[in-house]
A and B are shown apart, each in its own frame.
Chain A
Amino acid sequence: MLKNYFKLAIKVLARRKFFTFISLFGISFTLMILMVTTAFLDNELGDAPPLTEKDKMVLLNRVTMKKMEKDTIPQVDSTMIDGQMRYDTTYTYDNRASSISTSSASLPFLEDQIGEVDGAVLQTYFVTMANFDVFINNKKLALDAIYSDAAYWQVFDFKLLEGRTYLPTAVKNQEQVVVITDKTARAYFGREKEVLGEFMNLEGKDYEVVGVVKAPTRSFDDVQADLYLPYTNMAGNMLASESFLGPFKAVFLAESSQNRDRIKSAIKRKAELISMPKPEEYNQLELWPMTFAEAYAKGVKYEEDPRKSYNIVFGAIVGLLLLFVLLPTLNLVNVNTSRILERASEIGVRKAFGANSGNILFQFVFENIILTFIGGVLGFLLALVLIMVINDSQALGEVVLQFNLSVFLYSLLIILVFGILSGIIPAWRMSKLQIANALKQNQL
């Protein structure tokens, strides 16, 4: 039975080449774009190393200090009455922030004020976005660095290619060691392997290379860098600071993803208890602990509350994708509806010989799935080419798109939905056709 349907589908496709082309063009390009988009989202938000534990993480990268003051807030309303301007001033007496200061945290703040957090099995402090200019053979190499503690390597599971990462003792003793990425090894030493024990000169100090990790292929600030150093190697004034504000970020690792909220509320509770050192300057402390996805969304669209950023960004992504898929689907439905009219006589004959509406419906949806499947294969190939082109042109910076199994499975699902959706409406219409009408309409 299916074999017959399959044969029939191929015959029909070959008969009307122009319509087949239209359908395949639409399907394959839509799927190509969807596959590249899912590959991008999977790469940025998926759980590939070094973010395998991303669902257990709570990030704390902003400390906001406010000075709240009781103040009279005047509001002047001007209205034109009888050609004359009248002013109506109202005063409200309320709290308002007269000055706001927001930044990442200082190390003493994280160690002494936050300290151990209830529900966290691991916590790490680190500094991102440090830069070094290094000159080799008259060429400048601008390297991004992350200064971190040793727990950083447990929270973020980088793929270690060679050597080891640094230990708590190395951080404590201010050892001049560095972990570099394979990309950096290639750029600095000209080779990816056997660079352990070599020295890198950064800001006039020699650092021993103790490990090589695979360069992360996503844009997330907390892991994206060219080299990683123990944070004790930073200038002293960056480490010891009176202020709550400084260059440090923190990540807390929960036992399981359900425990994240416990950490979040523990941090918020602590924020309420911390007394401000200079209440005349700032008298209110706000901390916004957030999940990985919220932090990512916040980097795209800034809102004070990370939850709001998350809703805006992911709402927009889902909405746009839906809108985007809807148009080609509608187009396909439109084409299919007019095309299927051609087959009215065939349906009439089949019905006259005893096929019921369900049989007819199934046949047409099946044909459509075959069509979308051919389009899917084409789209898959096109997507591979596009991903190669994007990676080659480095249009997305350090982001390297990869085609992996989960992306392929998503795509298969998309193909199926697409095929059923665009086939079912026209097929349903046709399956309702009256036999007599169908037979009368067309000469056989």
Chain B
Amino acid sequence: MIKHIFTLVWNKRGKNFLLFLEIFLAFAILFIVFTFAIQAFRTYSSPLGFDTKDSWVAFLEWSEELDSTALEDTKLRLEQELEAKPEVLSASYLGQVTPFGGGMWQSVNDDNGFELRTHLFWSDEDFFETADLELLGGRFFNEDDQRAKYKPVIINRKLWEDSFGGKPILDSIYQIQGENRVVGVVDHFKYVNEFRSEEPMSFFLNPKASRDLPNIMLELAPGTTAAFQEEVNKTISDITRRNDFRIVDLDQRRVSNSRRYWVPLIAALSICAFLIINVALGLFGVLYYTISKRRAEIGLRRTLGATQQTITFQFIAEVLMVAGLAILLASFFAIQLPLLNVMNVPDSNYYLSMLFTSTLILLVVLLCAFYPSQQASRIHPAVALHEE
């Protein structure tokens, strides 16, 4: 049966070639776009691991002239005054690396005897509660950690699984800028961008008064308005005696950071949607025309006893054969991408994209072939033969 259909298609290879080429090309374009889109959506929907709602980060500058005691006094006073406001639920100091702040600090080393790749993040002990991180095991930092023999560190699940194979890790020591003792593991922390997959993290503890923690994060009572920012602004400038700082709404920052990924993604997907509609319309037109040109053949088959269903089936099978061959050839090229590992995309995304593209194209072809085939099969044999 399949062989027979193939012979029918092969005999008209000149006419079917354009159709073949078109489906091949459609596959190529859709495959590329879907691979990126699937990758983007999967990353986007992976959990953030912390709460950005009603959170602000103030990026502060601290005068070089303050000595360490003066700095400590000012920083502690600022935190106290901010926390005293009823709108502020909690406050914590952060290092230069902040959630959605654009800054990153990465380290790759083999000091532990194996390659350890991690992002570094500095904060005081309150950060984990201010940002609502979820603890998987162990504990967050506490006051005593400042005096511990080893620097305490909290890692995320990604680092735990990537570098330590998910084996029991609490109280283990590993090297990165000195020796660190793991006191806790948090679930997720996707802090660079919603569209950037989570990085392995190491969280370090610094004292609140440290010059290395210039920025302050505030968790606010739900429903706090932007007008409150002016009050915070005033408090900060009164205490730090500086004006060159900036307050950022974390939720807004998250959304605006994502926008430069959404725009091309939506543009690419709408272009694909248009291409599919375009190809579908064209296909429908061509099939309608070519199938109706084969009236004589239909008439003959009907006279020899073929039912309407077998005729419909034959035309659909022919078109599906062409589409299937095109998809097969295109898949052969597409599968080279995961096999050769051309781009930094997980293999499963390629396969998902291939599956998705093939299904979509077959569905479109089926839909476009169905109506003309059925229409043709309704031709009365006597009429068809008479015309000839």
Contact = CB atoms under 8 A, between A and B. Distances in A.
A395 B255 CA distance: 12
B29 A335 contact: no
Contacts of A121: none
A138 interface: yes
B229 A140 contact: yes
Contact of B263 (A21, A202, A395): A395
A423 to B, nearest CB: 14
Contacts of A25: 277-278, 281
A72 interface: no
Contacts of B64: 237
A385 interface: no
B230 A140 contact: yes
Contacts of A397: 259
A341 interface: yes
Contact of B25 (A132, A203, A323): A323
Contact of A26 (B19, B233, B243, B282): B282
A220 B271 CA distance: 25
A207 B21 CA distance: 64
User: What DSSP secondary structure best describes chain A's contact surface?
Assistant: helix
A33 B29 contact: no
Interface in B1-51: 18-19, 21-22, 25-26, 28-29
B227 A26 contact: no
Interface stretch (A178-186, A303-311, A325-333, A365-373): A325-333
B304 interface: no
B120 to A, nearest CB: 15
Interface residues of A, number: 41
Interface string A193-209: 00000000011110000
B63 to A, nearest CB: 10
- Among A203, A327, A332, the one with the most B-chain Cβ atoms within 10 Å of its Cβ is A327
Interface residues of B, number: 36
A338 interface: yes
Contact of B29 (A21, A138, A327, A332): A327
A436 B25 CA distance: 37
A53 B384 CA distance: 71
B286 interface: yes
A140 B18 contact: no
B29 A334 contact: no
A26 B278 contact: yes
Contacts of A22: 281-282, 284-285
Nearest to A399: B263
Given A326-B25, A327-B22, A396 B263 contact: yes
Interface in B243-300: 243-247, 259, 263, 271, 274-275, 277-279, 281-282, 284-286, 289-290, 293
A305 to B, nearest CB: 19
A131 B246 contact: yes
Question: Which of A237, A324, A334 has the most C-beta atoms of chain B within 10 angstroms of its own C-beta?
Answer: A334
A332 B233 contact: no
30 contacts: A18-B285, A22-B285, A26-B282, A33-B274, A133-B233, A133-B246, A135-B229, A140-B226, A140-B230, A140-B247, A142-B246, A323-B28, A326-B25, A327-B25, A327-B26, A327-B278, A327-B279, A330-B18, A330-B25, A331-B22, A332-B282, A333-B18, A334-B18, A335-B282, A335-B286, A338-B286, A338-B290, A339-B285, A339-B289, A341-B293
